[in-house]
Structure 1
Amino acid sequence: MFTGIIEELGSVKKVAQQGRAMEITIHATKIMPGIKLGDSIAVNGICLTVTRLTSTEFSVDVMPETFRSTSLSTLKERMEVNLERAMPATGRFDGHFVTGHVDGVGEILKKEPTENAIYFHISIPTDFSKYIVMKGSVAIDGISLTVFGIEADTLIVSIIPHTAKETVLGRKGTGDQVNLETDMLAKYLYSFVHEHRAEGKFESKITEQFLQQNGF
C-alpha cells in the first residue's frame, strides 16, 4: 500500500528488455536506507519488487502484463522516475489509498500554466469515468492528485510548483504517457453496488434514485 506522496526522483541506470519482459535498474539515494530484497517500491505508480540491491541502486523485474498495461515500456536510460516506498504501519498517511496496481495509461492532451498552478488535461479510457468524481482522488504516475474536471474521456488535475519540481509530471508535456490508478474505494463501491443491484437487493426507489444520480 502506498500514499501517492512521492519520496524521490530516481534515475534509470539500465533497461534490459527481452520481448515484453524487462529488468530495470534505478539509482536512488533517499529511499535506499532500510530497503531489502523483496520490498515493494512504486515506480511511476507501479508496485514492483526489489530483486537486486546495492547501496545506491536497486533492480526490479517487469512481467509482460505490466509491460503491456503501463508506460514502463517507454523508459530509457537516464530518464527520471517517481519513487515511493510502501507505507509502514506506523507511518503518517498524507495522500490517499494507492495500491500501485495501475488501471491503464493516459495521454497528456494539454499542459496549461495558470498563476501558481499547472493544469493537465489527460485522456482516459471511457469506462474510467465511473470511478472518478469531482474533488475525489486519482493517482497519476503514482502522485496523489485531486480531480478538478471530468468528462467521458478526459480528466483534469493540477499541480503546484513543488510537485512540478519534485516529480516527473512537471517534466512531461503534451503527448507524453502517464500511468493511471483510480481510487480503490470507488472501485470497490462500484462493484458492490452493481452486484447487489443485479441480485435485486436495492428495493427502495429512493436508494435507486440516489445511485442513478451519482453515476451508479
Structure 2
Amino acid sequence: MFTGMIEAIGTVRRAMTAGGLMMLEVDLGPTATGHDAPGDSIAVNGVCLTVRGLDGRCARFDVSSESLVKTTLKHLKPADKVNLERAMSAQGRFGGHIVQGHIDGVGAIAAIKKQGDFAVFRFSASPQLLGQMVLKGSVAVDGVSVTIATLDNTGFEAALIPTTLKQTIWHRSKVGDAVNIETDILVKAIRRHLEQMLGTGGLTEAKLKQLGF
C-alpha cells in the first residue's frame, strides 16, 4: 500500500520492450536507501512495480503487458523523470490517502494555471473515472495524492502547492501530457455496494421502501 506522498524523482535508464513486456531500469536518485531489496514494491508514476534486481542505486522492474496497456509506462524512454514512492511500512506515517498502485485509467493534463508559486492543474478523464470521484475527495494522479477542487462531466481540477510541484515531475509537465489515474478505493467500494444493493434502474420509490425508508 502507498499513500500518494512522493519520496523522490527518479530517472529512467533503460526501457526495453519485447514480447509485450517491458524491462524498466530506474535510477532511484540520492534518496536510494541502500536497504532496497528484490521483491520490494515501488510505485513508479503511481504504478506498483516489484523490484527484480538492484545495481547500485538503480532498480530493475518487469512491467506486465496489462500494465503497459492500462498505464503510461509504455511511453517511458531513457532520461525521462518519474515519481517514486516506496510501499508504506507498518510504522510509516499516513501522509496522503490509501493508494494501491493499481491504475484505473489514463487521463491527460488539460490546462495549467500558474498562480505565483502555486498552480491549478485541470485533468481530463473518462466518464467512468469521473464517476468514481467526489468533490473534495482524494485521487492519485501519477502517484501523487491530490484533493479534487472542482469536478464536472469532462474533468477535475487540483490546486498544487509549491512543495508538491518541486518534489514531483509536475514542475516540468505540460498541457497534453498523459497521466495515470487511480481513484479512491473507498469511493469505489461504496459505489459497488450501492450498485449491488440497488441493482439496475437506479434509486426508485419501491427500492427506498424495500430498504426501509
- TM-score, scaled to structure 1: 0.90
Show the counterpart of 1:108.
Answer: 109
Distance in structure 2 (CA, Å) of the matches to 1:94 and 1:75: 28
Deviations 1:91-122 (A, max 9, x none): 11010000000011111111111234211111
Q: 2:98 corresponds to which letter in structure 1?
A: F
Distance in structure 1 (CA, Å) of the matches to 2:212 and 2:128: 21
Distance in structure 2 (CA, Å) of the matches to 1:48 and 1:141: 13
Show the counterpart of 2:97.
Answer: 96
Range with greater deviation from structure 2 (82-91 or 19-28): 19-28
Tell me which stretches of 4 or more aligned residues in structure 1 moved more than 4 Å.
205-209
Show the counterpart of 2:169.
Answer: 168
- Distance change in 2, residues 1:204/1:167 (3 Å): same
Shift of residue 203, structure 1, vs aligned partner: 4.7
Q: 1:36 corresponds to which letter in structure 2?
A: A
- Distance change in 2, residues 1:208/1:172 (3 Å): farther
Show the counterpart of 1:212.
Answer: none
3-state secondary structure, aligned to 2:145: strand
- TM-score, scaled to structure 2: 0.92
Show the counterpart of 1:70.
Answer: 71
Contact 2:141 2:181 in 1 (8 A): yes
Distance in structure 2 (CA, Å) of the matches to 1:116 and 1:179: 24
Range with greater deviation from structure 2 (36-45 or 110-119): 110-119
Shift of residue 31, structure 1, vs aligned partner: 3.5
Contact 1:32 1:55 in 2 (8 A): no
Shift of residue 163, structure 1, vs aligned partner: 1.1
Q: 2:24 corresponds to which letter in structure 1?
A: I
Distance in structure 2 (CA, Å) of the matches to 1:150 and 1:180: 15
- Structure 1: runs of 5 or more not aligned: 210-216
Distance in structure 2 (CA, Å) of the matches to 1:58 and 1:32: 12
Deviations 1:41-70 (A, max 9, x none): 000000000001122110001111100110
Show the counterpart of 1:51.
Answer: 52
Contact 1:31 1:85 in 2 (8 A): no
Q: Among all aligned residue pairs of Structure 1 and Structure 2, give the percentage whose two residues are the same amino acid.
A: 38
Distance in structure 2 (CA, Å) of the matches to 1:198 and 1:59: 45
Contact 1:135 1:147 in 2 (8 A): yes
Contact 2:105 2:129 in 1 (8 A): no
Contact 1:141 1:169 in 2 (8 A): no
User: Alignment RMSD, CA only?
Assistant: 2.1
Contact 2:38 2:54 in 1 (8 A): yes
Which residues of 2 match residues 1-216 of structure 1 at below 5 A? 1-28=1-28, 29-198=30-199, 203-204=207-208
Q: 1:143 corresponds to which letter in structure 2?
A: V
Contact 1:105 1:180 in 2 (8 A): yes
3-state secondary structure, aligned to 2:164: helix
Shift of residue 89, structure 1, vs aligned partner: 0.7
Contact 1:134 1:147 in 2 (8 A): yes
Distance in structure 2 (CA, Å) of the matches to 1:54 and 1:121: 38
Shift of residue 207, structure 1, vs aligned partner: 7.1
Count of residues in Structure 1 that have an aligned counterpart in Structure 2: 208
Shift of residue 171, structure 1, vs aligned partner: 1.2
